[in-house]
Amino acid sequence: MATVSDAVQLEPLHRLRRSVRQAPVGFGLTSLYLSLVVLIPLAALIGQAAGTWDQGGWLAISNPQTLAALELTVGTSVLVTLVNMVVGTATAWVLVRDTFAGRSILDAAIDLPLALPTIVAGLTLLALYGPNSPLGVNVAYTRLAIVLALLFVTFPFVVRTVQPVLIALDPEVEAAARTMGAGGWTLFRHIILPQLWPALLSGAALAFARALGEYGAVVLLSGNIPFSTQLASVYIFGEVEQGSTGSAAAISLVLLVLTVVALVGVDVLRRRWNSYAD
């Protein structure tokens, strides 16, 4: 994801902010674009959900089948996010600190899950972990399959947010810590990890948001059995297909709220961390 790396190489923020004041037209155009592309569609979704709230929107959410689907969606998304935080950081570490043959190829491959149409990812995983698995692993149509598919599509986020911070770390700090006898885990825990936290949390929030809404990669792989392997995104598609767009909007709103809570929560944590670090 080029944008993530680019974001790191942006000018210092105080300079950016000054340039905003100098170019109100640019800011106006940006806000216009943001409104058209993101804010208005989101407002329309909220409006649609609110419009049908008393005509079954609440019923749609409190339906046991919906709740089961939401529970599974949030559960798998949290699990996948936690795994990503550990494995993504480790991957970024290896890519930044180790030199080995094929490193640049591996680095380029990290983004592939984002480039692949997710339905293709789903089909590929189905071929790999399905009844005709060449690996002899048949987990398709189970919750484990859902987790595997979500791990696949969310993998790049933590790697790509943590990687540039690792590159930018001041080696002298580490060297100083080493001279004081810190090594291995202590060094990572007390010197490196604190500097990674903000980026790590950002990546985790992105991965979580993506996992909540994923449809393509899981629709064929999940089994879609209500109360067992049915995810919210697939359930919502069923509501649309039934013509119940109001309840689809209501359930989507729940996912949207969960995403906002996750993003705001991360932001709060990061601010707290930053003020602590300052």
Complex with another protein: residue 17 or 190, whichever CB lies closer: 17
Angle at CA 95, nearest 5°, toward 89 and 96? 90
Provide the CB-side half-sphere exposure for 265 (13 A, CA): 12
Among 240, 257, 261, 265, binds another protein (CB under 8 A): 240
What's the CA gap between 159 and 87, in Å, rounded?
A: 8
Residue 244 tokens, joined: 């119940």
Least distance (Å) between residue 217 CB and another protein: 13
Q: Which of residues 170-229 bind another protein (CB under 8 A)?
A: 198-199, 202, 205-206, 219-220, 223-228
* CB within 8 Å of 277: residues ≥ 6 apart: 194
Query: CA 135: distance to chain centroid?
Result: 28
**Residue 24 or 171: which CB sits closer to another protein?**
24
Q: Which stretch binds another protein (CB under 8 A): 44-52, 92-100, 173-181, 259-267?
A: 259-267
Binding range to another protein, per CB under 8 A, among 78-86, 105-113, 176-184, 262-270:
262-270
Which of 37, 64, 115, 180 touches another protein (CB under 8 A)? Answer: 64
90 binds another protein (CB under 8 A): no
Find the part of the chain contacting another protein (CB under 8 A) among 16-24, 82-90, 91-99, 183-191.
Answer: 16-24
70 is an interface residue for another protein by CB under 8 A: no
- What minimum distance in Å lies between the beta carbon of 64 and another protein? 5
Can residue 65 be called a binding residue for another protein (CB under 8 A)? yes
Concatenating the DSSP letter of every residue in 149-183 gives HHHHHHHHHHHHHHHHHHHHS-HHHHHHHHHTT--
The two structure tokens encoding residue 228: 């067992």
Q: Is the CB of residue 193 less than 8 Å from the CB of residue 173? A: no
